[in-house]
Structure 1
């Protein structure tokens, strides 16, 4: 096949070429595809879980979102933090000023820009309290991540908490048992919990980052990195003043169903 993605006219021509019908219109093909909800011109990427402990690790995270740990309900003085980094937020200074939206006209942003550098935004999101703690750094790494941990854990209510669970992915800033031990050595009441490999979608802070992308970063039109940092700090204050916890609905039952469907594909 010469094509990997097909349009209705292309499918109609292919059907005639192979003798499926003497004549066929694109609209006929469209009706057939619409009837069966098939869209050969679209595709989406997805990953098969390759972590041998995927179900166990994912289940632990989902339990924490329901305030359970090792079969027991979390009590007062126990908190769940979801944390990660949003890398390489650029300062793009447009070569011509952006035009504000007008009547029946969208905002216009010039395509050309000068690069003003990039910054990483690290954030920790309290799942139950819907409170965000963020900071900017030139890049990601162990030192910037531990600075974020220090920022959160030295303030109340976390400094005097019984336990604070930190849900993180497997990025290099907080990967493996070394990161678990490093966190526990610095703060005895902190417990690091990793999502499975390639399962950052289980980390609730990614939802917050999607909000940041839509409401703060896009369209990217910043004079310099200081302006980026200021906008992030101002948004963080605004968010914390009004935010409510995310309505997380993915449960262990959903996890079981998902893994069952994936298992069917592997057969």
Structure 2
């Protein structure tokens, strides 16, 4: 038996960043009353469309669920999902074969388009490079009426380096503001809780005859969840140590 652990990278701002993300969740209801919305965003990649060779056995009292081991693999899909922190509903789910910066930008644009009257959007996400891309910076600058020169990626200006793009996208005066979790702290992102719901209630229990079937069932589950199950998560963590 092997048990793993992770030694986190040295980050003097880590604790402050954790407290900031927790504050974003705490402030979300008040911001919503002022016309601002807060969403938690992440990707679920490499989701396999697995078709079981034979039907699973019916559930029986006192027995674990039993199913056929063999399956046929029909391909994979990537889902990019955003969950409204206040309402608990999923907004503009994205499904496709790739997870590129243009895919993430298209999802963010679709989320923003769901409510044109919102004054400001807040996105909580991790530090994946596509969350800090050149295309995302240019779009945020455009919708925020940012008139200054953005520079050139890899050379100069805001676009030159990822830390500069991150700082720009985190600017609280913009129309769309990104709040980044510390590295190796994805548990701070509320969408991770919802993704575990999706995996437990649908993905591990279903058989999919194609990637189109996989996509249709996931989107149908999201629609059902939004109509019957959506509610805010009770976020109690405040950024303090969990042990003494």
TM-score normalized by the length of structure 2: 0.77
Quote the residue 1:45 is aligned against: 5
Q: 1:44 to 1:220 in 2, by over 3 A?
A: farther
Greater Cα shift, 121-130 or 215-224: 215-224
Quote the residue 2:41 is aligned against: 83
Matched, 1:196 2:182: yes
Residue number among 199, 212, 223 corresponding to 1:213 in the alignment:
199
Quote the residue 2:171 is aligned against: none
Unmatched 5+ stretches in structure 1:
6-41, 262-267
Residue number among 56, 63, 72 corresponding to 2:23 in the alignment:
63
Larger relative contact order, structure 1 or 2 (CA cutoff 8 Å, min sep 6): 2
Structure 1 residues 145-164: aligned runs within 5 Å: 145-156=104-115, 159-164=116-121
Rg (Cα) greater in structure = 1
Describe the superposition over 1:120-170 as per-residue Cα deviations: whole angstroms up to 9, x where unpaired.
1110111011110212111211111111112111122xx222211111101
Quote the residue 2:50 is aligned against: 92
Q: How many Å separate the matches in 2 of 1:150 and 1:222? A: 29
Unmatched 5+ stretches in structure 2:
145-174
Quote the residue 1:141 is aligned against: 100
* RMSD (Å) for aligned C-alpha atoms: 2.3
Residue number among 115, 118, 122 corresponding to 1:165 in the alignment:
122
Q: 1:81 to 1:213 in 2, by over 3 A?
A: same
**Equivalent residue of 2:193, what SS?**
helix
Give the aligned length. Answer: 210
TM-score normalized by the length of structure 1: 0.71
**Equivalent residue of 2:40, what SS?**
strand
Q: How many Å separate the matches in 2 of 1:118 and 1:186? A: 34
